Amino acid sequence: MQSLPGIATPLEDVAAWQRQRGELPARDRLTPDLLALAQNGATILIGAQLGGRPTVGFGVCCRALPDGQLRILLSRSGNANVLAAIAEGSRVAATFTGAPSHRAFQVKAERAVIGAATQDDRPEAERQAQLFCDGLTEIGFTRDLAAGWLALDLGDLAAIELLPERVFTQTPGPGAGAELPR
């Protein structure tokens, strides 16, 4: 196996988690590394279950709240399926992937709460969208392709809030998917 400088591995994720986890108060669910990854232009995927089948959506911005919850902003019209699933009480998964490192982690929650996007969500959504485009540009996409994929529409945002109960490294490579235990 060969990896380029700057490309993460799952084993590095596990080591970083163990290093940082011991120093954190129990309330904090995620390490500084993972919080930084989630809030700086990561690709945010959301999974839920609707009518007995899996369903998928995506977010445009993530904000870590003081109580340990993650607030994920997503297009309301583009994620009607995910919002319907959450409204019905579905469990939720969210995966955050950074570019160009391909470092990724997934959180799982018993449920999430749906809310409206607020005025102060918007500048943060714009900042993270900018970083998202920068990251994709670094791995060879044009800016148009990156922005087109994200399709950020500030007038059409909803928010979901969830408490990460379990955390998994999702970085590609041997050991991918391993749980990062509390």
By CB under 8 A, name the binding residues for other proteins: 1-4, 7, 43, 45-49, 53-58, 75, 77-78, 80-81, 90-95, 97, 102, 104, 106, 108, 139-140, 145, 148-149, 151, 153, 168, 170, 172-173, 176-177
What one-character DSSP code corresponds to residue 62? E
Rounded Cα distance, 67 and 26, in Å: 11
What are 105's two structure tokens? 């982690």
Work out how close the CB of 70 gets to other proteins at its nearest, in angstroms, rounded to a whole number. 14
CB of 29 to other proteins, least distance (A): 17
Closest distance between other proteins and the C-beta of residue 43, in Å? 7
Cβ of residue 20: shortest distance to other proteins, in angstroms? Answer: 23
Q: Which is nearer to other proteins, 115 or 175 (CB)?
A: 175
Instruction: Give 24 or 151: the residue with its C-beta nearer to other proteins.
Output: 151
CA atoms within 13 A of residue 169's CA, in its CB half-sphere: 24
DSSP calls for 110-163: S-EEEEE--TTHHHHHHHHHHHHHHHHHHTT--HHHHHHHH---GGGEEEEEE-
DSSP designation for 79? G
